[in-house]
Chain A
Amino acid sequence: MLIAALRDMQWRKRRFVIAILSTAIIFGMTLVLTGLANGFRAEAQRTVDSLGVDVFLVKDGASGPFVGATPFAPVDLRRIASTPGVEAAAPLVYAGGTVTLGDATRNADLFGAPERGPGMPPLSEGRAPITPDEVAVSSTLERNIGEDIQIASRRLHIVGIADNSTALANLPNIFLTTEGAQQLVYGGQGLAASIGIRGTLDQVPAGYKAIDRDGAIADLLRPLKVAVNSITIVAVLLWVVAALIVGSVIYLSALERLRDFAVYKAIGVPTGSIAAGLGLQAIVVALSAVVVGVVLSALLGPIFPMQVIVPAYAYVVLPVIAVVFGLIASATGLHRAVSVDPAMAFGGP
């Protein structure tokens, strides 16, 4: 009976192709949205990892070293740096800012850290900034070493490039010395958003809170939380639409083939075989749509001005969910097919 189901798909191929393409577009969009949401996290993780900080110390009451930071004077820095297990400690600065590039302006994330870290990422070109007027910038800013950029009223000289270093939905990261960042962000006061520690910290000093990398990533993602949740809701709605398309195609197929099913039953074909045939159609539609959807997502991803990084698990989960959703959505059609009265086979056309 499975061959009969496949033959029926050939017979009505135009309809099934339309269904597959419609579902594939939705699967493709779902993958892109998943990639967008994942892209936010991936770039935040890449940025935090690149800083080479194992533990961020923030003041009690602050919710993170970046967005949720409460600036403080790092008076305990020397004592913390000498704590057993701590390899290095440095005051770190973070703020959002606007970069002027000729006539254009772009939002950017500003990081302040000492030349040798912790807090200064490895650079693909040039060197880390040494003086308050020097910066290392993300390659996505599309500026070269030797060029100048303007942040607020200060003109800064590019001495290094960090490859594809972005955060907060593809905003370029800009790295300064701690002092340079303090001049930009705190008007030259010796404040810090956090103390970055390389190594381990057994005892958190009183008045401070330790935040690991995962906490730091969550803090950096905080402004995007609403956007990520919205994307997730849209993705779920798309799943529902995809399931409805698969289900309605299978239901219509079942409705049009009721006479066939009645004949099958009348000549003794087991009901299970009839249901299996329809189920196979749902699976073929869903899996074909997945394949086309993956190709579409690869084509659509680069169009977006943000990073679309589809996680590997999505390619595994998508066909599984597609098949399960497809079968669930086809349940009405399956029920209609298996409950058909074989007596319907009698009578005229």
Chain B
Amino acid sequence: MGDLSIQDLVVEYSSGGYAVRPLDGFNLDVAAGSLVILLGPSGCGKTTLLSCLGGILQPNAGAIKFGDVDVTSLDARGLSKYRRETVGIVFQAFNLVPSLTALENVMVPLRSAGMSRSAAREKAEQLLARVGLADRVTHRPSDLSGGQQQRVAVARAIALDPPLILADEPTAHLDFIQVEEVLRLIRELASGDRMVVVATHDSRILPLADRVVDLVPDFAESNRPPSTVQLEAGEVLFEEGTMGDCIYVMSQGELEIVRELAGGGEELLWLAEPGDYFGELGPLFHMPRSATARARTDATVIGYTVATFRERLGVGGIRDLIEHRPLDIDESAVTQEPG
């Protein structure tokens, strides 16, 4: 049907009064017929992106175009039609309707598209045969294995032959034998003009991909010596939502640690003063920064890599770090680095 183009996509929601942006200025262009894998840990925005692609979630800003359809400008009726005719979704938890047989589950999108009962039945039988479940048509989901349920979900997703297939963690609940079956099926789906977008944190399936999109670019852990950073008043050390590999200890001056609010503006979480340390959880757990650090006055901070910081802390220090207990930091052997 066409290429996928995502421009400056922003999705923001409120969590405990704070603004959270799983997607902030996201861009992606993919050619028709590709198998794209969205890779990243939980909470990085994979499912949010799939929801936007599937016309289920309206982004706060940005544009999604699939072929000649501007998804972000569709109204409710248009989105329903888009979901029915353009998108097929394979859900993480299979999401088959437990009261319906495999055949009836596959018939749901066919019937809702206006197909007659007999025609829908015939098509559903063909689809189940295609995914290797011809002998399981009358079974309910509870009588099928995880892999078989996922294959029924795939048959349902491709029932109306949509040009875009979205798969959310398709291997999450499968053992390695079942994973093989499903991976083969997913690879087969991305043929001709049909595009398949898979959200996963399972690196086993990366070889399948025509393109891998890492939603949280990781950083390589390094073991460089501590470095001093000089900041002028108002200068930002790091921003909320960015990745970073350093834990900082205040040496001189004051730094504001602020978090963006859902309704606009920001909240001062705390004021870092000499001896305080901050920014430890992001580098430690390879997560984006959860707040912005900005100098209130001219300030000096010392940046430690996680490895260096661990060495300084010694045994049990990591626990003190996670619980943000006061630490005894030795500031000797610190290299100078321009702010």
Contacts and interface: CB of A to CB of B under 8 A. Distances in A.
Contact of A269 (B56, B85, B108, B157): B108
Given A8-B99, A342-B56, A348-B92, A3 B104 contact: yes
Contact of A273 (B99, B112, B157): B112
Given A270-B112, A346-B47, A263 B97 contact: yes
A54 to B, nearest CB: 63
A266 B95 CA distance: 11
B54 interface: yes
Interface string A8-33: 10111000000000000000000000
B81 A7 contact: no
Contact of B83 (A7, A8, A259, A267): A267
B223 interface: no
Contacts, number: 90
B283 interface: no
A4 interface: yes
A348 B95 CA distance: 9
A102 interface: no
B57 A343 contact: yes
A4 B107 CA distance: 10
A4 B97 contact: yes
Judged by DSSP, the binding face of A is helix
Question: Which of A263, A267, A347, A349: most chain B Cβ within 10 A?
Answer: A267
Contacts of A268: 80-85, 87, 109, 112-113
Nearest to A2: B111
A342 to B, nearest CB: 5
Judged by DSSP, the binding face of B is mixed
Interface string B53-95: 0101100000000000000000000001111110111011101
B112 A1 contact: yes
25 contacts: A1-B108, A4-B99, A4-B100, A4-B108, A7-B104, A264-B108, A264-B112, A265-B56, A265-B80, A266-B83, A266-B91, A267-B109, A267-B157, A268-B80, A268-B113, A269-B109, A269-B112, A270-B112, A343-B56, A345-B89, A345-B91, A346-B91, A346-B92, A347-B168, A349-B93
Interface of A: 1, 3-4, 7-8, 10-12, 259-260, 263-271, 273, 342-343, 345-349
